[in-house]
Amino acid sequence: MNRKDFLQEAIGAGCCVFAALHALDLPAGVKQATAGPVWDIADDQEQAFVQNWLTDLLSTIQTELDRETQVKLIEGCGRGCYRRHAFKQEIAADGAGDVDRLIEALKRNFEVWREGDTVHIRYGEQSPGCYCPAARYREPEPNDLHCECSRTSHQTIWEVAFGHPFKVDILESVRRGGKTCHFLVHLS
């Protein structure tokens, strides 16, 4: 491949990295938005490029920005994940305005239970690994930033369903060394 072709492919892959994730084994029922061309990254070189680009981006975020800014950026990804996946929007719509209905809607995909003024959302007693294709190819870390994306995705479900802010904590996550991913929603 000549230099010009390489640069065109690299720029295309870099600019459309999230559209390219469409081909990275998304879970059944999850639909990826396609704003622009869908790149076929079945080619090992292209897939490695996308994976390395994401790793470089996240490494730069973690080394160059303070934790508050890091979390704020990744929260944007969590809200985007909510907007991209119809099943998350359906959960919020089916539970709109009623905690018990929202819990039942969440149970279609997660283990969920209420304890007083909190609701637990867990990916089963033990998860086989991280479900996010964007994180799957990166080594996990003790205080893994990527988990803020999942936390915010759950937070967005609650905020859309009720029209006001909610606090959601990460109790445990696979990427942070836990057996599963477990979130706690504060109702008050």
Decide: 111 and 122 in contact? Cβ < 8 Å: yes
Q: Look up the CATH number of the domain holding residue 102.
A: 3.30.1380
Is there a contact between 171 and 183 (Cβ–Cβ < 8 Å)?
Answer: yes
Q: Is the same domain home to 39 and 73?
A: no
Residue 150 confidence (pLDDT): 97
Shared domain check, 106 and 59: no
Residue 119's beta-bridge partner residues? 114, 185
The two three-digit tokens of residue 61, written as one number: 């975020």
pLDDT digits (tens, 9 = 90+) for 116-172: 999 999 999 999 999 998 888 788 988 999 999 999 999 999 999 999 999 999 999
- Residues 4-19: tens digit of each pLDDT: 443 344 334 333 333 3
- Position 42 scores a pLDDT of 65
User: Contact 172/179 with Cβ under 8 angstroms?
Assistant: yes
Domain of residue 27 covers 1-64
